[in-house]
Chain A
């Protein structure tokens, strides 16, 4: 049952959506055999030049957690426990603990793979507004996360222009040669391999696709000036993720948790009440 007070109601609906998607992301990692306890006690932690990774690795925490399956399981389960506890009790401490558990997973996973996977950044950032009790601070931090999401996409477009890769004719073709090599070697008859092959060999088309991607990413910059186009940007982000899956073979849906900041929450609230998904006190 939802509270009658407007802010608390909105807070709770946002919490249901955000933590619902967060649980889906954790479930996806679970069925991917990639949670801490499922890593089979990895032998190496690939330290990096980034000082936070160096520091975290130097503490020995990631090594200690991943080498003790029971402890790793506790950290994995804590993601679920803190979520349920937060949604039931609405106590901010559980939201803070969730962010810390997610942060530990994020850093450890990246240290084990030696690859700085950005997908889970959205999960970390969008959980921050729920740390705050005051309506004003929650709303401002929620808005800040929206701007962060706009930064993610628009900066990706800008980097391609500033580094000149957007104007490099063979850029996408060359990327795909490395990115999709395993797919082309192992499953050349599949439809995704056909897409990759087509884009590698038809460089004019792949360059056009790259330019379309740059335009799509840059279009997020409009969100810095107005919220009028948020509903379009919401779908653009989904389009990007779908295209990324078919072209690059990357499922970046985890980042889509930030897409929630582009939703019109008044409409969402009206919809969930109308559909009697929740009731109001």
Chain B
């Protein structure tokens, strides 16, 4: 019982009922989302790659070239790399499946070009986005199986 009296929640309940209520409601909501295994802002779940990752036959990557110079993702900082790779990962399949309107398609191409050019501080004007399908050998070396152009864009 003495141990319970020293706990954070007990002390909080005794001294600040409003904050106690807010924290208990927050904890209950987090617990509910844990049970549902579904994240909902601001009830974050920190799995940190806890879902089982099965091996895949092929792994997909996107290569972006500006005037034949490939953008090296490893040279970019995380926040910047995320902006490029995540948006391309989302948009490329939509482009390939023709699910974007011509206007949206063009908006995306212009945006990616502008964002990459600003980042590189060059005035290059042609961009190629290429889908790479890869797999791995037993030594952990990645091999490119196929290269498919997603789109090419020339800035006007």
Contact = CB atoms under 8 A, between A and B. Distances in A.
A177 B46 CA distance: 21
A187 to B, nearest CB: 5
A185 B53 contact: no
Contacts of B140: 196-201
B19 A197 contact: no
Interface in A35-78: 38-44, 46, 50-53
B47 interface: yes
A275 interface: no
Nearest to B105: A43
Given A52-B42, A140-B12, A156-B50, A177 B83 contact: no
A177 B19 contact: no
Interface stretch (A12-20, A82-90, A160-168, A230-238): A160-168
**Size band of the interface chain B makes with A:** 35 or more
Nearest to B110: A43
Contacts, number: 185
Main secondary structure, interface of A, reads: helix
A279 interface: no
A178 B142 CA distance: 11
B99 interface: no
Contacts of A182: 61, 73-74, 85
B118 A177 contact: no
Contact of A52 (B40, B80, B132): B40
Contact of B72 (A46, A50, A137, A187): A187
Interface of B: 8, 11-12, 15-16, 19, 23, 30, 34, 39-42, 44-56, 59, 61, 63, 70, 72-74, 76-80, 82-83, 85-87, 89-91, 104, 107-108, 110-111, 114-115, 118-119, 132, 134, 136, 138-142, 144
Given A140-B8, A186-B72, 20 more contacts: A33-B119, A50-B41, A52-B40, A114-B86, A114-B87, A115-B86, A117-B82, A121-B44, A147-B8, A156-B47, A163-B51, A171-B52, A177-B55, A177-B142, A181-B142, A185-B132, A186-B70, A188-B141, A188-B142, A201-B138
| A-B pairs with lowest CB-CB distance, top 8 | A201-B140, A200-B140, A43-B107, A34-B79, A159-B50, A32-B77, A197-B140, A156-B48
